[in-house]
Amino acid sequence: MAIRRVAVVGGGINGLAVARQMLLDHPGIALTVFEKEEAVARHQSSHNSGVVHAGLYYEPGGLKARLCTRGAQLVRSYCAENDLPFDECGKVVVALGAEEIPRLEAIFAKATANGVPDVRLIGPEELREIEPNSVGIRALHSPHTAIVSYGAIAGKIAEEVIRRGGIIRTSAAVTRLDERPQGVFVMGRDGAFDDRPFDLVVTCSGLQSDRLAEASGDEADPRIVPFFGQYYVIDPAFRSHVRGLIYPVPDPKFPFLGVHFTKRIDGEMTIGPNAFISFGRENYSGRAVDLRDVLDFATYPGLWKFAARNGAATLRELKTVMSAKVFVGEAAKYVPSLAAVGVKPAVRGIRAQAMTRDGRLVDDFVIRRRGRVTHIRNAPSPGATSSLAIAEYIVREVLALE
């Protein structure tokens, strides 16, 4: 099959990275990115922590493990080549009690297997050298974990796509893909965007990925269930209390990581995120309710099975939603000097988390090809870190174009 025309649906960092990689590897093609908003990177790409994850937590051999470590290298190089800020501030994962030590050691084993560079287990004395105000009985140190602005990176990639001959069509909401023998027609509310079909289409639709995939003939599952994560910025006078990133040891009984400290690329220090069901897939203000989105998850059996298994975690997260004091208190377990710090609401992200009908969160990336169409069905964190590597994987392995 001769490939001359390619469409990418979604102008977030993953869609733009796929478009860029396609133009790098196949400079003669005609490529169009369709983005429903008035500009690129309006959703998850600009509503996140900005962390360049090193690959600590992911199951060795899985796509997350493979593409995160590769993606972190590519993000570092891309920032250097394009004069974008990149701060290798480092990260510690801190154990407060003896019961957390086996879990911390398991993370270290995964990180080692994933080839994370220079990761080490350290004691309380060395922890205080790295983070003088942090408390803990043991920690894992990842010195090369970094922070960036993924919104700025996405913007630079968009410029490169255009420079290499690609077209980015904004305010172009795609409702479905119509695959016919002659190719794929990209459909909007008023019909096809173009009279000519595309040879290949890659969808990178984030929070709407399941809807577009199902409308285009793919399976209904997994379903996107949106969880919001709120961040707070601490009083600038207390920024120096934390040098880099301080994370808790994940509890495998709970589905989300828990509140932690994250330095931001603009110098601010944030606390967050929590994780709670969002009453709208794109409800970044927290003040709106999208009835269609609510009905979607409220009638989905997977959510109720998930909630039944995670009652304690749900209660803990609800408390952080209702009270900024509780929110800060969760983080201050690791830095007691910040127990009474003043905070202001910052970015609110919404995680495009795929879930199955049995209530299981899909742990790995899900990238599925059907005919001429390839869907990214699940790419939450570390999706932004992995974006350039996800693009390589799709273009060179999933599509396997010569």
| Whether the predicted model's global pTM rises above the 0.85 cut | yes
**Fold (CATH) for 5-46+151-222+363-398:** FAD/NAD(P)-binding domain (3.50.50)
| Predicted pLDDT at 76 | 98
What confidence score (pLDDT) does residue 312 get? 84
What residue segments make up the domains of the chain, in order of their start? Answer: 5-46+151-222+363-398, 223-355
DSSP-assigned letter for residue 323: -
DSSP character string of 114-178: TT-TT-EEE-HHHHHHHSTT---SEEEEETT-EE--HHHHHHHHHHHHHHTT-EEE-S----EEE
pLDDT in tens, 354-376: 999 999 999 999 999 999 999 99
* Strands 223-234 vs 200-203: parallel, antiparallel or unpaired: unpaired
pLDDT of 12 reads 98
Whether the Cβ atoms of residue 265 and residue 151 lie closer than 8 Å to each other: no
Amino acid at 322: M
In the predicted model, residues of the chain with pLDDT beneath 50 are none
Q: 5-46+151-222+363-398 with 223-355: one CATH topology?
A: no
What integer pLDDT is reported at residue 97 of this predicted model? 97
**276-296: pLDDT as tens digits:** 999 999 999 999 999 999 999
* Whether the bond into 226 is cis, omega within 30 of 0: no
Cβ neighbors of 47 (< 8 A, separation 6 or more) are 284, 347, 348, 349, 350
CATH topology of domain 223-355: D-Amino Acid Oxidase; Chain A, domain 2 (3.30.9)
Cα 224 from Cα 207, distance rounded (Å):
7
In this prediction, residue 401 carries a pLDDT of 74
Distance CA 163, CA 367 (A): 27
Beta carbons within 10 angstroms of residue 2's beta carbon: 5
Span between the terminal Cα atoms of the chain, in Å:
10
